[in-house]
Amino acid sequence: MTRHDAARMDELAAEVANEPSEYSPVLRRGLRVLRSTVKDDRLSTSALLPDRIRYASAKEREKAFSKHYGHFCAYYKSSCFTSVMLTRLAISTVGYFDENFYPAYVEDVDYGLRLRLLGFQERNVLYGKFAHRSSYNIRLSNKVELPDALWYRRVRSLSANDAYAMMKWNRPRACCGGYKEPYDGMVP
């Protein structure tokens, strides 16, 4: 955990515990918001993100975590997810990786965009080393059995992730241009 994250997580947990609130349009329609707690195994996309931030304008959300780091990348000079550590605060507020990007790839770019929407900083350091060759970590792994590797190549060639990225961000491979918010701010 980075400096000041524990105190911020405690503040957010207390705020979320006191919700529902007037900020929640879902509750005004009489629907229940799915949140996960220690005693509850329901779906949680961002258990410590209070409604006042969740439903704020994009400009207000960008300030919410601007003093906190969301992820750390090793031995890299720019944005990356090849060798990354996510903070607990980031996971608790941004949520998990989007499993609709299946079987692999693009989910990291999507997560980075979602981190930026909440204003998280990233920290890239030139310590350590890793090797990364585009898409080779799954295709050429010695531990992947041949039938699985063949299946993956077929599924990957369909590029279903590209279509989903277009739908979610209106940009190819979730990389450039497009919407500023997922689904242009509309829940699908």
**Which H or E element spans position 125?**
strand 121-125
Instruction: Tell me what pLDDT residue 16 has.
Output: 86
Which tens digits make up the pLDDT trace of 52-85? 898 888 889 999 999 999 888 775 566 667 677 8
Instruction: Tell me what pLDDT residue 38 has.
Output: 47
Q: pTM of the predicted model, to two decimals?
A: 0.72
Instruction: Tell me what pLDDT residue 46 has.
Output: 83
Residue 87 near residue 69, CB atoms below 8 Å:
yes
Instruction: Tell me what pLDDT residue 118 has.
Output: 93
Q: What does the CA dihedral 164, 168, 174, 178 come to, rounded to 10 degrees? A: 130
pLDDT tens series, the chain, 188 aa: 577 899 999 999 899 888 875 545 554 455 454 444 445 444 457 888 988 898 888 889 999 999 999 888 775 566 667 677 889 999 999 998 888 887 677 888 888 889 999 999 988 777 666 555 555 554 445 555 666 666 666 666 566 777 888 888 888 765 677 888 888 877 65
Instruction: Tell me what pLDDT residue 64 has.
Output: 94
Cβ count near 88 (within 10 Å): 13
Instruction: Tell me what pLDDT residue 1 has.
Output: 58
Q: Which of 126, 96, 124, 92 is nearest to 110 (CA)?
A: 96
Q: Which of 96, 133, 110 is nearest to 179 (CA)?
A: 110
Instruction: Tell me what pLDDT residue 119 has.
Output: 94
Instruction: Tell me what pLDDT residue 23 has.
Output: 46
List, edge to edge, every strand of the sheet that includes 69-74. 84-86, 69-74, 121-125
Instruction: Tell me what pLDDT residue 120 has.
Output: 93
Which tens digits make up the pLDDT trace of 104-114? 778 888 888 89
Amino acid at 134: S
In this structure, the strands spanning 69-74 and 84-86 are antiparallel
Token readout for 10 is 């405690």
Q: At what angle do helices 160-169 and 107-117 cross, to 10 degrees?
A: 10
Sketch the domain layout of the chain as residue ranges: 5-185
Residue 164 near residue 101, CB atoms below 8 Å:
yes
**How far from chain centre, in Å, is Cα 142?**
29
